[in-house]
Amino acid sequence: MNIQQAAEILGGKFQILAPSFKALLEKIEIKNGTKVLDIGTGDGKMAIVLALNGLFVLTGEPRGDTSKYAKQNWRENASKVEVEHLITFQHFRAEDLPFDDKRFDYVSLYGSFHHFEHKKRAIREILRVLKNRGKIILIEPNDQMMQEIRATHPDHPDADDPRKYLGDFGVKVDFYQFDKINAFIILKV
């Protein structure tokens, strides 16, 4: 199944964001056989997009997180588009990842970065578990999407720009703007 077919099945925000996800992944050129960590599962959008590309994805939320975001049913969405077998869920916090150094080729974050309490600490941990020359795919809502989110969730935190926290880490950042999202591709050099 491709991303357009999945978008028709899942509808809603997935369908709206699917063209941006597809364009972003074409820029990154993720190869099969890579190890991907997805931080902040939510309803599974990013894990599903990656799995649709034939990647095995380890995704997770913090244990005990009772927010409306962490309680979404990612498994049901993944099952609808037949990629549940490519996604593994585990509880973890971005600020204290329970993984070995240099384990992952890619780390993805869709709409989760602005929820982190300790952003710089999370980046340090993500870079620790990322292989050399690995990439962080960090997606944040743009201003238009933030207005839409706030229409139904007025207490939602502001989107954040990870470049404010990267000065000490010696990374390379490419920035892409799409219809509803801003994407930061951070290369561990």
pTM for this structure?
A: 0.93
Cα end-to-end distance, the chain, whole Å? 34
Q: At what angle do helices 12-28 and 3-10 cross, to 10 degrees?
A: 160
Residue 175 in any domain: the answer is: no
Specify if 29 maps to a domain.
yes
Residue 119 lies in a domain: yes
Q: What is the pLDDT along the chain (189 residues), one digit of tens a residue?
A: 999 999 999 999 999 999 999 999 988 878 777 889 999 998 899 999 999 998 999 999 988 776 766 667 899 999 999 999 999 999 999 999 999 999 999 999 999 999 999 999 999 999 999 999 999 999 999 999 999 999 988 998 999 999 999 988 989 999 999 999 999 999 999
30/185 Cα distance (integer angstroms) = 12
**Are the C-beta atoms of 35 and 104 separated by less than 8 Å?**
yes
Burial grade of 121 (CB within 10 A; 0-12, 13-18, 19 or more): middle
Reported as a single tens digit per residue, the pLDDT across 36-68 is 999 999 889 999 999 999 899 999 998 877 676
In the block, residue with structure tokens 């364009």? 23
Asked, for residue 158, whether it belongs to a domain, the answer is no
CATH number of domain containing 56: 3.40.50.150
How many alpha carbons fall within 13 Å on the CB side of residue 163?
A: 10
Is 174 among the domain residues?
no
Q: Look at residue 13 and give its three-state secondary structure.
A: helix
- Res 181: pLDDT: 96
Rounded to whole angstroms, how far apart are CA atoms 173 and 57? 23
What pLDDT, on a 0 to 100 scale, did the predictor assign at position 167? 87
Enclosing domain of residue 76: 3-134
Number of domains in the chain: 1
Rounded CA-CA distance 144/159 in Å is 11
Task: Provide the CB-side half-sphere exposure for 141 (13 A, CA).
Answer: 18
Question: Would residue 19 count as lying in a domain?
Answer: yes
DSSP 8-state symbol, 165 = G
What does the pLDDT read at residue 28? 87
| Residue-level pLDDT at 34 | 86
